[in-house]
Amino acid sequence: RAKQLGKNQYAFYTKNIKDNTMKDILEEDELHRALTKNEFELYYQPQFKLANGKIFSAEALIRWHHPERGLIGPDTFIPLAERTGLIIDIGYWVIETSIAFIAQRHKDRLSPICMHINLSALQLRDAKLVKQVTKLLDQYQVSPKEIGFEVTETALLSDVTLASNILQAFQNMGISIAIDDFGVGFSSLGQLKNLPVNILKIDKSFVDDLETNPNDKKIVEAIIAMAHKLSIHVVAEGIENETQWCLLENYSCEYGQGYVVSRPLPKAAFNTLVEKNKQAYRKSLEKDI
């Protein structure tokens, strides 16, 4: 009997190896260690008003300080975290760290800013998510208005009803909801009306080709117009130059994010930039008067 059990376990083990690659298993171990050894860091990228460049919010973006490989971007480890389920724990770390950062900004008497946090599909199937977020906001004395969640169209696809119920609960609390990378997924503008959405983020790929591709121009213009008809705000991602900025402004896009204003920054550099931006904005207002 013991022998048989052993055999079964072996079968289970080989099946696992087939499902994940050996590399995955080794990296999963490292990813787990990263969490316990505090190797992750959040960088923050400002989001600004296209009309005047004023920073009003930001997006938290995870980085991994790997002891041998140096600083690693999320595209190389988030997919593995999603495959292995580790994204749940990493996700909670991201949420708590973002909220703690806002609380620290309060203590330092820095200007209020809304922090947008990325959520994966798996997190939108976690029944405890709403309760945990409520608890964290309460614990750090941060208002729900000071955070927002970003989800992709594909993340919503896996279980639209459950995901939209969770998002609805967040929206009812006053947390803003953004659809990330809009335009590259499968959802249509028609589906938007059934989802609790405050913000639509136009994918960088459309912004990249604005200057050269007349079709992209028309698509972006149409997305912005439709979103506004549905009372949804629009943020353009990945703005790298003034030409793209001007074009988007002409299409009535209200907000932007991109290297043209700043790359994602570690928290101290981010705080400095936001304060400088605030001063500049104040000066320009003074000049007007």
Residues of this chain that bind ligand C2E (CB under 6 A): 45, 61-62, 73-75, 78, 94, 118, 120, 150, 180-181, 237-240, 257-259, 264
Interface positions, 156-215, toward Mg ion (CB under 5 A): 180-181
Distance CA 84, CA 73 (A): 18
Give the shortest CB-91-to-ligand C2E separation in angstroms.
6
| Dihedral sign (CA 49, 53, 58, 61) | positive
Q: Which is nearer to ligand C2E, 94 or 137 (CB)?
A: 94
Among 150, 236, 251, 270, binds Mg ion (CB under 5 A): 150
The DSSP-derived string for 14-56 is HHHHHHS-HHHHHHHHHHHHHHHTT-EEEEEEEEEETTT--EE
Give the shortest CB-29-to-ligand C2E separation in angstroms.
20
Q: Which is nearer to ligand C2E, 14 or 243 (CB)?
A: 243
Give the shortest CB-90-to-ligand C2E separation in angstroms.
7
> Beta partners for 257?
237
Q: Which is nearer to ligand C2E, 137 or 155 (CB)?
A: 155
- Residues 225-244, one symbol each (x = binds Mg ion by CB under 5 A, - = not), give ------------x-------
256 binds, among ligand C2E, Mg ion, none (CB under 5 to 8 A by kind): none
Q: Does 153 bind Mg ion (CB under 5 A)?
A: no
Give the shortest CB-255-to-Mg ion separation in angstroms.
13
Q: Which is nearer to ligand C2E, 8 or 205 (CB)?
A: 205
Q: Which is nearer to ligand C2E, 3 or 114 (CB)?
A: 114
Q: Does 45 bind Mg ion (CB under 5 A)?
A: no
Give the shortest CB-203-to-Mg ion separation in angstroms.
6
Summarize as ranges the residues that interact with Mg ion (CB under 5 A).
118, 150, 180-181, 237
